[in-house]
Structure 1
C-alpha cells in the first residue's frame, strides 16, 4: 500500500508522526492539478487535534512539495464551519480567495477556498 504513494505522479501522501513516541496521527497530501498548481489536504486523528500538529506538518510540507514538483500555487479548500482548518491554512500563509457555496463529497455546502503562492519560484 505504501509503494502506491511512491509514484512521481501523485497523489503525494505523507504520514504525520509524533516526535515523542513515533505514533502515526494523520496525514498531509498534495494532489497535483496541473504543471503549476496543486491542492493540499490533511487530517489529524481527533484525539490529537488542537495541538498544532496540522500547522507544523503543513508548514514543513508546503516548501518541500513546491520544490519537488516545481509548482507555483497550492490551493486549500475546507468547510467554512471547520474553523480549525481555516486557522491552519491562515497560519501557513494561505490567502482566502473564495467563500460561498461549493460541492463537498457530493453535497452543496459552504466552503472556503485559499491559495498559497511559492514566491521563491518567481525569483529564480
Structure 2
C-alpha cells in the first residue's frame, strides 16, 4: 500500500517504525479511547508491530516530508458473506503530538477514496468510544452519519463499553 496525500501517506509498516509504534501502544489513552492494544513491554510491542505488519488491512500513517510514522489506520473486513464483502470498518489513531492538525482527516480521506474507487466498497462503518468526541466530529465532517449506540461488554472483565457507530455510503 502506498497512498500519498499532501502531508501524509498511508503505507505498509516497516521495522523502522518500532520506536513510534511503541509510543502509540504505550499510551494508555490510545487504549482507552481508540481500543489500541496497550503494553509497556518492548518485546510484546515488537510482537504487536509484527502482527500489524502481517495484517493485510492495517497500515502506518506517516508524514510525506520525512516518512515518520505518526499513526495507524485500518480498513477491516466486516465478514465474508456476500452482502458484507463490499463493506469495511475503518479505524485510526494518531499520535497525540500530531492530533488536531488535520492529519487524521487527510489519512481517512485517502483510505476512503481508495476503498470506494479501487475496492468498489459500497459502505464504510466506523465506531468510536461514546466519550471520544474528536473522532466523532471528524467522522461527521467527512459525511459519516451517526447510526446507533451499543453497550459492548468487554471480554473477561464484565465492564460495559458504550460505543457509537457511524456509516458512510457511496
Q: Do both proteins adopt the same fold according to a TM-score greater than 0.5, normalized to the shorter chain?
A: yes
- Structure 1 position 4, deviation (Å): 2.0
User: Is 1:25 paired with 2:84?
Assistant: no
Q: Deviations over 1:19-77 (max 9, x none)?
A: 33321001111111121211111011111111111111001110202233222111000
User: Is 1:108 paired with 2:134?
Assistant: no
Give the paired residue count.
112
Shift of the 105–92 alpha-carbon distance from structure 1 to 2, 3 Å rule, reads farther
- Out of 106, 112, 115, the position equivalent to 1:56 is 106
Q: C-alpha distance in 2, partners of 1:105/1:63?
A: 32
Q: Is the 8 A contact 2:154 2:161 kept in 1?
A: no
Aligned-residue CA RMSD in angstroms?
Answer: 1.9
- Out of 4, 10, 15, the position equivalent to 2:60 is 15
Q: Deviations over 1:78-110 (max 9, x none)?
A: 0111011101211222110113x3216544222
Q: Is the 8 A contact 2:72 2:92 kept in 1?
A: yes
Please name the residue that 2:117 is paired with. Answer: 67
| SS of aligned partner of 1:50 | coil
Structure 1: any 5+ residue segments left out of the alignment? 119-124
Structure 2: any 5+ residue segments left out of the alignment? 1-49, 79-83
User: Is 1:86 paired with 2:136?
Assistant: yes
- Range with greater deviation from structure 2 (75-84 or 31-40): 31-40
- Radius of gyration: which is bigger? 2
Higher strand share: 1
Please name the residue that 1:77 is paired with. Answer: 127
